[in-house]
């Protein structure tokens, strides 16, 4: 078998055979298939798609490329959550300790930024000393002693996906539904969690721009999980506007701690609690109230233990960007739109994300929001603050914000979009 034949099959809208899929995933993992060849295949998949049997086989091949974990020794049921990526989507940070405080164990394997969307690991690495890379033994120890762990997938867990994940980020193939579904579910199934809640983002700041595409992705992933014995549920949630008031790394950590302290933006709190309830239900944990666990400080206690267990200092001062620039409202009225994609691109250009897989990110870079859709603004008041260590990036970031918002006449009625749009199980 040869990779050119596999690429041509999908380029010509053919169906990849199980043997082709098994071979190409194995060969890519071993280095026999080069990055540029897998890039061509990924683009062909983006353009021509895969059917259900191809996606299932691709996912199985990704799982088979590495090991499978086992959490059966834990005294608690396990529940994990995965977001398909958004702007200002710091939900994992307060969610994992919250669910743990309510009685479930949360083995949260997270990733780095993809394109304009932020990465949970990049955010947490802004905490001095915090480690994303844990051995399987360390991961199990943190999970057993604190109830929650957020870390990178180990080298032995779906190594084919680790290579392909980074490649997709820099080849314009992030949005391919078959690759998104197989990437997420191969890791989650191999991880060994007993239940899984998927947060499938919809809107300008999401990879799925339409509700139809989001339902297709959610249904595909729910099917893959269910067929593998993992109780899987998906929520479709709005990503037309950034979540919360920050998009960046340290900026989002700071906001997450505010949520754990009983405050924080209302939309972040609402979605965190909604996902916590789904996770607890899927794990079979009854009579737990996540809203109470936020209010009484028990979720914050788990957060502090979890961060410390991974080498971080929960009391450390978070990094702050050396330079900032304020963007003011050009007119008075009602802010009716603040585009999540444009804000994400601005944060990325300021240094919060990466253009190449080997690029570093700036801990303090990002965008701070001073108003959200529905708010009344006055001409000249701060609308956004841009943060970066490299002020030469300001002009490039500002170009992405051209047309990023709409301001209607004073008194204009505004109806907000619900955060949770649909549920698929």
For range 76-104, the mean pLDDT:
96
CB 208 within 8 A of CB 201: yes
CB 83 within 8 A of CB 278: no
Q: Is the pLDDT of residue 357 over 70?
A: no
- The correct answer on CATH 3.90.1170.30 for the domain covering 323-408 is yes
For range 204-228, the mean pLDDT:
93
CB 210 within 8 A of CB 202: yes
**209 in catalytic set:** no
- Greater model confidence, 308 or 171: 308
**12 in catalytic set:** no
| Number of neighbouring beta carbons within 10 Å of residue 375 | 15
pLDDT at position 169: 76
**116 in catalytic set:** no
Domain with CATH 3.40.1030.10 in the chain: 80-155+168-309
For range 409-420, the mean pLDDT:
96
Q: What is the mean pLDDT of the chain?
A: 95
For range 402-411, the mean pLDDT:
97
Catalytic choice (82, 188, 201, 305): 82
Its CATH class, for the domain covering 80-155+168-309, is alpha beta
Catalytic choice (168, 354, 387, 393): 168
For range 260-286, the mean pLDDT:
97
**168 in catalytic set:** yes
Q: Is the pLDDT of residue 115 over 90?
A: no
**187 in catalytic set:** yes
Domain with CATH 3.90.1170.30 in the chain: 323-408
Q: Is the pLDDT of residue 356 over 90?
A: no
Write down the CATH superfamily of domain 3-49: Transferase, Pyrimidine Nucleoside Phosphorylase; Chain C (1.20.970.10)
> What is the rounded CA–CA span in Å between residue 220 and residue 274?
22
Query: What tokens does 210 get?
Result: 């339409």
Pick from 167-176, 305-314, 340-349: least confident: 167-176
Sheet holding 80-83, edge to edge: 80-83, 195-202, 231-238, 420-424
Q: Is the pLDDT of residue 335 over 70?
A: yes
- Greater model confidence, 162 or 182: 182
């Amino acid at each position: 078998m040869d990779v050119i034949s596999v690429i041509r099959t999908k380029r010509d809208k053919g169906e990849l055979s199980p043997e082709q899929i098994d071979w190409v995933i194995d060969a890519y993992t071993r280095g026999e298939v080069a990055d540029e060849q897998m890039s061509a295949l990924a683009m062909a998949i983006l353009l021509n798609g895969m059917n259900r049997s191809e996606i299932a086989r691709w996912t199985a091949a990704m799982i088979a490329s590495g090991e499978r974990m086992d959490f059966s020794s834990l005294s608690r049921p396990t529940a994990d959550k995965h977001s398909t990526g958004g702007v200002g989507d710091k939900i994992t940070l307060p969610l994992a300790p919250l669910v743990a405080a309510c009685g479930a164990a949360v083995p949260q394997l997270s990733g780095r930024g993809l394109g304009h969307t932020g990465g949970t690991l990049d955010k947490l690495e802004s905490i001095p000393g915090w480690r994303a890379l844990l051995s399987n033994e360390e991961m199990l120890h943190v999970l057993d002693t604190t109830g929650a762990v957020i870390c990178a997938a180990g080298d032995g867990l779906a190594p084919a996906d680790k290579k392909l994940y980074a490649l997709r980020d820099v080849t314009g193939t992030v949005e391919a539904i078959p690759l998104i579904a197989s990437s997420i579910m191969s890791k989650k199934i191999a991880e060994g969690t007993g239940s899984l809640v998927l947060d499938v983002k919809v809107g300008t700041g999401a990879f799925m721009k339409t509700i139809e595409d989001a339902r297709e992705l959610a249904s595909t992933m729910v099917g893959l999980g269910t067929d593998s014995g993992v109780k899987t549920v998906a929520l479709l949630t709005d990503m037309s506007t950034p979540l919360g008031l920050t998009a960046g790394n340290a900026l989002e950590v700071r906001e997450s701690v505010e949520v754990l302290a009983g405050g924080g933006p209302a939309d972040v709190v609402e979605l965190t609690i909604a996902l916590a309830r789904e996770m607890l239900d899927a794990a079979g944990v009854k009579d737990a109230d996540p809203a109470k666990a936020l209010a009484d400080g028990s979720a914050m206690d788990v957060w502090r233990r979890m961060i410390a267990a991974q080498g971080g200092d929960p009391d450390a001062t978070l990094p702050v960007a050396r330079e900032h620039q304020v963007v003011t409202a050009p007119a008075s009225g009602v802010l009716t739109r603040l585009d999540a994609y444009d804000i994400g691109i601005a944060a990325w250009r300021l240094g919060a994300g990466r253009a190449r897989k080997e690029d570093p990110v700036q801990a303090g870079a990002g965008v701070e929001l001073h108003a959200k859709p529905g708010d009344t603004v006055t001409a000249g008041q701060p609308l956004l603050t841009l943060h970066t260590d490299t002020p030469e990036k300001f002009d490039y970031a500002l170009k992405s914000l051209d047309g990023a918002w709409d301001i209607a006449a004073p008194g204009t009625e505004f109806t907000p979009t619900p955060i949770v749009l649909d549920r698929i199980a």
